[in-house]
Structure 1
Amino acid sequence: MKNSLQLPSGYHELLQELKTRIRGAQVRAAFAVTRELVLLYWSIGREISQRFDREDWGGKIVDRLSKDLQAEFPGVEGFSPRSLRYMRTFAEAWPDEPILQQLAAKLPWGHHMVLLDRVKEGETREWYLRAALENGWSRNVLVHMISGQLREREGKALTNFQRELPPRESDLAEQILKDPYNFDFLTVTTAAKEREIENGLLSHLRDLLLELGRGFSFVGSQVPLTVDDRTFYIDLLFYHVRLHRYFVFELKVGDFEPEYAGKLSFYLAAVNRTLRTPVEGPSIGVLLCESRSGPMVEFALENINQPIGVSTYRVTRELPAPIQDELPTVEDLQEVVNKLRTEIETLRREPSNGE
């Protein structure tokens, strides 16, 4: 039975125009080139958006349009009512065609669906779009970065970079650091020591490098530095391929203490003397603490002439073993639930006193 929906003026012309446009895109790109597909979806979304604004189309028109396009292009995915609504939202999210051509068209459609679903503010959406392109994030990584609020954390470390690094390098170095670092992939006890957390990070090195960001290359852990016949050990040593310099990470459990900055400054001087080559820039230090006070960090870094940043980190904490032993297991809870269900069913079957 034919749909009795009253079609508005201009609908059939639009349908024919879209059919022609879709066929053209199929010929040019066989629907395989990301850019052509995204540009096609944007153009469809813009047409739908403009018709809705100009001619006051109802929502059921999208359902009818979807049905007609699917009939014309059987087996071709992407023309469901939900997809067409995404296209409309996509076109409205990127009304500036130069930005569409230069940026948005380079990102796969699945990424755009994530951005539309999870990021509502335009400036923030563009930030994640640029970051995804620059870092080559997969769709799952993009979801992870948005969920972890990367934009809110990036560039928030307390540093002395403005004083100790050239302007361009200090800006880039500050953007590289985050606060807090999200190590939620790591589960440790509440009484975890620094080596336990460090070993956990190494066992999740891929996740650690993803959290640190593009450009970091792992050099080693507990890297020995011998000075005046004494050997000291760096917790984590990385090399940044864009800044061409070493990054020395020191991991501390608990609050920031002023003496941590002095010791890290010593490590940086030793790395510059023993590992750095003439073509590399001065090494950068990063103190990772569970918490820190802004004024205390500021005072601690005031007279240090090595570039140092101080950030916090978060991990997933387990309850101590004695408390865990006192808590019911999943099996215990399930047994209680089953018992309650049995009692409820029994009460339901029993006749009431009034019967």
Structure 2
Amino acid sequence: MTEMSFDVGDYNAWLTGLKSRVEQARQRAVLSVNRELISLYWQIGHEILDRQGRAGWGAKVVDQLARDLRTAFPDMRGFSPRNLKYMRALAEAWPGKEFVQQAVAQLPWSHVVTLLDKLKAPEARDWYAEKSIEHGWSRNVLVMQIESRLRERQGSAVTNFRDRLPPSRSDLARDSLKDPYIFDFLGLTESAQERDIENALTRHITRFLLELGAGFAFVARQYRLVVGGDEFLVDLLFYHLKLRCYVVVELKTTPFKPEYAGQLNFYLSAVDAQVKGPHDEPTIGLLLCKENNRLVAEYALRGIASPMGVAEYQLLRDIPAPLMPNLPSIEQIEAELQTDNASGLSDQP
């Protein structure tokens, strides 16, 4: 029997498309199952609350319910007394039926538990839930972002974006920066020099990009510019995929000085002239200083033509003392992760 011939290139293109559609369908199936599970957990929690509140059932009903559900569904995980209490907490945190339309309803159960454990304010829980969906954070990353107070830091750098960028870009650019930036993953002391920090940041570029935020792509370190026959080196050069522009980052191991803004302005002009493409937006600058007097920075940026921001960086995370006892130890986190990994689909980060 003669084997049928076909165009290999056409077949490979077809196969690539098929594999992509299969993978997308698998992902939709997983998300659908997860949404159903979280919805079930919310309903169980809501009914526990209702019976404890309306019928006056005591706390022991949770233990009894856990035993009965595990007996009825021995092959199904997630019905421990501890998990049932989290279901009740879930229903308390999001009491309305509109829960199913919110971001938290799309998260894995381990993420939901993290939100319940580490955050008390409803608006904070909703914000981190939305960011988790938007950026595809794992549970580990979610914990790190909460503990580093990302919500309070994002969009808080001193900038001149409102005056230098059109409204359609200024808000996105402002939200792309934060203050302070936390580089505690570098393992450096406060006496580290600029070159030490640059070296460490490029060695830990994945963590650095995570701290910078979504959209940043690393281009080069000590990027060489030649202007009028003189050589100048940009500390770090990035490209922001959403803003469609280059971002120059300058590191200073001293408090902010107004002349730093002038130097960065020169770099931005040079990058716009020599590097920026015809379809790129104007280059943005970020000055990272050991300390930042916000009023001095605001005055300095008023006379700068290029869009830029000023923020502090911390080599060691500054966690308020009252919060320290509430943070889990490395051993506790590892134990929870082992539990998560053993809990099947509902607990996958």
**How much does 1:279 deviate?**
1.2
Separation of aligned partners in 1, 2:199 and 2:48? 54
Is 1:144–2:136 an aligned residue pair?
A: no
Separation of aligned partners in 1, 2:190 and 2:268? 30
Which ranges in structure 1 are unaligned for 5 or more consecutive residues? Answer: 1-28, 318-355
SS at 1:316 equivalent? coil
Q: What TM-score do you get using the length of structure 1 for normalisation?
A: 0.79
Separation of aligned partners in 2, 1:107 and 1:138? 10
Separation of aligned partners in 2, 1:279 and 1:78? 52
Aligned residue number for residue 161 of structure 1 = 161
Aligned residue number for residue 205 of structure 2 = 205
Aligned residue number for residue 219 of structure 2 = 219
SS at 1:100 equivalent? helix
1:69-148 to 2 correspondences below 5 Å: 69-148=69-148
Separation of aligned partners in 2, 1:308 and 1:34? 42
Letter in 2 for 1:210: L
Alignment check: 8 A CA contact 2:245 2:281 kept: yes
Q: Give the direction of change, closer, same or farther, for the CA distance of 1:77–1:32 in structure 2 (3 Å limit).
A: farther
Separation of aligned partners in 2, 1:43 and 1:190? 50
- Residues 299-339 of structure 1: per-residue CA shift (max 9 Å, x gap): 2111111001000000039xxxxxxxxxxxxxxxxxxxxxx
Is 1:228–2:228 an aligned residue pair?
A: yes
Letter in 2 for 1:134: E
Separation of aligned partners in 2, 1:151 and 1:109? 22
SS at 1:252 equivalent? strand
Separation of aligned partners in 1, 2:256 and 2:31? 54
**How much does 1:31 deviate?**
11
Q: Give the direction of change, closer, same or farther, for the CA distance of 1:99–1:160 in structure 2 (3 Å limit).
A: farther
Aligned residue number for residue 267 of structure 2 = 267
Separation of aligned partners in 2, 1:170 and 1:190? 33
Which moved further from structure 2: 284-293 or 75-84?
75-84
Q: Give the direction of change, closer, same or farther, for the CA distance of 1:99–1:226 in structure 2 (3 Å limit).
A: farther
Identity %: 52
- Residues 137-195 of structure 1: per-residue CA shift (max 9 Å, x gap): 00000000001111111111001000001112111111111100010011224432111
Letter in 2 for 1:206: T
Greater Rg, structure 1 or structure 2? 1
Letter in 1 for 2:139: R
Is 1:289–2:295 an aligned residue pair?
A: no
**How much does 1:32 deviate?**
8.1
Separation of aligned partners in 2, 1:31 and 1:286? 38
Give the paired residue count.
289
Aligned residue number for residue 351 of structure 1 = none
Is 1:59–2:59 an aligned residue pair?
A: yes
**How much does 1:30 deviate?**
9.8
Aligned residue number for residue 252 of structure 1 = 252
Separation of aligned partners in 1, 2:156 and 2:138? 25
Which ranges in structure 2 are unaligned for 5 or more consecutive residues? Answer: 1-28, 318-349
Q: Give the direction of change, closer, same or farther, for the CA distance of 1:121–1:190 in structure 2 (3 Å limit).
A: closer
**How much does 1:43 deviate?**
1.0
Alignment check: 8 A CA contact 1:94 1:100 kept: no
Q: Which has the higher contact order (CA 8 A, sep 6+)?
A: 2
SS at 1:290 equivalent? strand
SS at 1:188 equivalent? coil
Alignment check: 8 A CA contact 2:31 2:106 kept: no
Alignment check: 8 A CA contact 1:261 1:300 kept: yes
Letter in 2 for 1:175: D
SS at 2:242 equivalent? coil
Aligned residue number for residue 300 of structure 1 = 300
Q: Give the direction of change, closer, same or farther, for the CA distance of 1:163–1:30 in structure 2 (3 Å limit).
A: closer
SS at 2:232 equivalent? strand
Letter in 2 for 1:301: L
